[in-house]
Structure 1
Amino acid sequence: MDNKNSILLVDPEFDLNTAADCDLLLKITPDSFSYAIIDKGRRQLKAVYDEQECNDVPAMLAIKLKNDVYLTLAFKEIKAAVYTENSINVPNELFDPQQLNQYAKFFTETQSNNLYTRPFKTFGFTSIFTLQQFTEETLTTSLSNCKLYAQNAPVLTLAAQSDKTILLLDFTASSFNALYSTGEKLIFQNYYQTDNAEEFNYYLLLIVSQLNINTANTEVQLSGIIHSGDDYYQCIAKYFNNISFNCPPVKELDHKILDDMPAHYYSSLLALDLCE
């Protein structure tokens, strides 16, 4: 443990000299930062770091990338899902890669001028986004050949694993991502900050009401910082009967280092491994 809000789990047999055979996954939200190291050849999870309730994520990220011995290694591939307020999803039939600057007109926040695109074939659209300039410069300077994704990429990947009608909720200690889909059709996705279960209950009811969700026929899939029986879980259980926890979606991955932790804590982080 680095402090009361962070945890580092490392395989005691992890040889730093094998980093060239490993992938690094990073998940950056407005209030948290986490990363995972996966040995792709051995299909083993070698390290997981998670820090919650961060007051200044960009500053903390810059410090971690400079001082964390694991983040200074030379990895095979690096993927980072980064929170941004400038993100839109364009249906593939309307997406024109030659007109990217036209989509930037819909962005409301002043950020980097670099536009990024990531396709999501399952849902039939392409995500277009920009990043906060300091965060972008920090990542691109410290991590060579880092593939950047918007923060919702992991939850979209988790949702793509199911052909049911689902409400997917992915939590940090003080926020959550909500996604509602019916089979291969994405209906809704949004990010919320919450201070307590009462506020979460308000947002949950708002989502159910506005989307006219049939709670009897919808499976709720949970990941991140939530536990069976806690206040947030009890809010969900008031309206939904079918509730499950999303285990890490990466098949045939040895994640013994998570044996003493709720596996669903890191499902969205590890889902980055499946992002194209």
Structure 2
Amino acid sequence: MNNNNSILLIDPAFDPATASACNLLVKVGLASFSYAIVNKETNQVSAVFDEQECENSAQKFADRLKTDSYLTLPYQNVKVAVHTENAIAIPNDLYTEDSLNTHAQFFTETPVGDLYAQAQPHFGFTTIFSLPKTANEALTGFTGGKKYSQHAALLAMAEKINETALLLDFSVGSFNALYIQQQQVVFQQCYEIDNLDEFNYYLLFIINQLDINTKEAKLHLSGIIHEGDDKYTCLLKYFSKADFIAVSNDLDQQILDDMPAHYYSSLLALDQCV
């Protein structure tokens, strides 16, 4: 990464004229912004951009839309996952399209702009969410793009896990947590962390509140974490083992060969979201 905490990796053979055969995947996190270009004909990752420790990730996205030509190419599909405080999960037997506004009254903040519904048929619920004002305004240019809540990619990866498991997806200053039992989502939340003590506090809070048996539950990690760093060492105080999640969709990720395979798992897993 450069001095701006950002990195841009591009396949030198990538031709912007092939954008119509590619998907653009965008992840606007709590304090991070990243995107990937995936060629659906060759199943190849053609580009990855990542910036950590953004003061305002939605604003970073809006600003970059004005300067980064890769973001405005005519893609086959555009998929954007955005961190938002306004997201709730509604069991499918209680959800109808006509009830969107009714459910929105339980949001943390008064919603600005459109309300979105994201079905999770595998887990039996629908996520209702709205976007932060800045992200909502920035996304007006992506008229054909589909919007997702921040947990969409982690949920897509969790569909393949048939065991009691805690999934943690890290950026430099935050992490998304997802806990599943018997193919049911028990808990999902995002936490901002400034230091290791805060991470340890939230980790213990999750373990204790959910009564997780750390000897039996599996631990799956993705994002900006690696074996031996402080957060990984902290996790092994409570769990006997931690497995890293790599995207298992046969993508050619040659441009990421010098990076840990799990760093961009959640970003690339957006391609599996429907």
> TM-score, normalising length from structure 1?
0.96
Give the SS at the match of 1:123.
coil
Query: Which amino acid is the alignment partner of residue 229 of structure 1?
Result: G
Matches within 5 A, 1:124-163: 124-141=124-141, 143-163=142-162
Alignment of 1:10-49 (within 5 A): 10-49=10-49
Cα deviation, residue 197, structure 1: 1.3
Task: Give, in whole Å, the separation in 1 of the partners of 2:4 and 2:130.
Answer: 32
Answer yes or no: is the 8 Å Cα contact 1:162–1:183 preserved in 2: no
State the partner residue of 2:256. 258
Q: How many residues align?
A: 274
Q: Distance in 1 between matches of 2:210 and 2:108?
A: 25
Q: Is the 8 A contact 1:169 1:179 kept in 2?
A: yes
Alpha-carbon separation, structure 2, partners of 1:10 and 1:78: 18
* SS in structure 1 of the partner of residue 66 of structure 2: helix
Alignment of 1:89-238 (within 5 A): 89-141=89-141, 143-238=142-237
Question: Contact conserved, 1:169 with 1:178, CA < 8 A, in 2?
Answer: yes
Aligned amino acid, residue 55 of structure 2: N
Distance in 2 of aligned mates of 1:211 and 1:125? 20
In 2: Cα distance, 1:106 partner to 1:263 partner: 38
Give the CA deviation at 1:124.
Answer: 0.3
Q: Quote how far apart the aligned CAs of 1:134 are.
A: 2.4
Q: Post-superposition, which runs of at least 4 consecutive aligned residues in structure 1 deviate over 2 A?
A: 1-4
Whole-angstrom distance in 2 between the partners of 1:158 and 1:91: 20
Q: Which stretches in structure 1 are left out of the alignment for 5+ residues?
A: none
CA deviation after TM superposition for structure 1 residue 32, in Å: 0.3
Change (3 A) 1:216 1:160: same
CA deviations 1:93-120 (Å, max 9, x no partner) are: 1112122111111112133231100100
**Structure 2: segments with no counterpart, 5+ residues:** none
| In structure 2, C-alpha distance between the alignment counterparts of 1:134 and 1:45, rounded to whole Å | 28
Paired-residue identity, % = 51
**Aligned twin of 2:60:** 60
TM-score normalised by the chain length of structure 2: 0.97
Q: Distance in 1 between matches of 2:271 and 2:41?
A: 14
Given residue 213 of structure 1, which amino acid in structure 2 is its aligned partner? I
Mapped partners of 2:235, 2:158: distance in 1: 18
Cα drift, residue 3 of structure 1: 3.5
Alignment partner, residue 269 of structure 2? 271
For 2:96 and 2:14, the matched residues in 1 are separated by 44
